[in-house]
Amino acid sequence: MKQILLVFIGGGTGSILRYLISRGLNNATVLPLGTLLVNVVGSLLIGFVIGLGYRQQLISENGMLLLATGFCGGFTTFSAFSYENQLFLKSGDFLSLGMYTASSLILGIAATFAGLYASRFI
């Protein structure tokens, strides 16, 4: 039960923060920058947390549930990313579709590796 509560608290906190960031940024430009930002930052954070937890053994299993599974899982959003891509496809905006998809994947994966790398210096 404790583990479920940790995931719940982390996920709720991450979801609220994602909402606040996306609310302000997604309408500012053609691309949904809020979603892109939370997904890239979330990727960086999960890389860092996993590096600290598994590689450095500085975060307990419960801490991993709170931070990686809960917070990062609630903070990042694949469903919004998929929905926004569907909107680009539906409107025929293939340039935005390609730019958004490529930048999300490339930056997200690069951020995860950067987080893992940065965790080595703690």
Q: What is the pLDDT of residues 45-74, one digit of tens each?
A: 999 999 999 888 999 999 999 999 999 999
Percent of residues in the chain assigned helix, strand, coil, to nearest 5: 85, 0, 15
Q: What is the Cα–Cα distance from 64 to 70, expressed in whole angstroms?
A: 8
Q: pLDDT digits over 23-39, tens only?
A: 889 887 789 999 999 99
User: 10 Å Cβ neighbour count for 91?
Assistant: 10
State the pLDDT at residue 29.
76
State the pLDDT at residue 68.
97
Burial class (CB in 10 A: 0-12, 13-18, 19+), 10: buried
Q: What is the pTM of this model?
A: 0.92
Burial class (CB in 10 A: 0-12, 13-18, 19+), 15: middle
Domain ranges of the chain: 2-121
Confidence band of 19 (pLDDT split at 50, 70, 90): very high
